[in-house]
Amino acid sequence: MKKLIATRKHIGLTQTDLAQELGITQPDISKIEGLERKIDALELLEWFQVFSQNKQINIDELWNEIYEDYCKH
């Protein structure tokens, strides 16, 4: 989750901005980022779609970083 938060902040999106892009509420984003609510695969793909609108973000690299972090557990 840390990578998603860092990416959101890196591209200058607030939780409210991201929520509007995804069609959910800011409290939902807060719960997901705070690990109070799980994110499913389709939601993750939607986050990637929003992030990919920013040319600075390489989604393949982001996915690999998230996957590598997951595999360490």
Number of domains in the chain: 1
> What is the DSSP-derived secondary structure letter of residue 50?
H
- The string of pLDDT tens digits covering residues 29-71 is 999 999 999 999 999 999 999 999 988 899 999 999 989 988 8
Say whether pLDDT at 20 is over 80: yes
35: left (phi over 0), alpha (psi -120 to 50) or beta: left
Residue 41 domain boundaries: 2-71
Which residue is it, tokens 């929003």? 50
pLDDT at position 72 is 83
**Which element (helix H / strand E) includes 8?**
helix 2-10
- For position 40, which CATH number holds? 1.10.260.40
pTM of this structure: 0.86
pLDDT at position 19 is 97
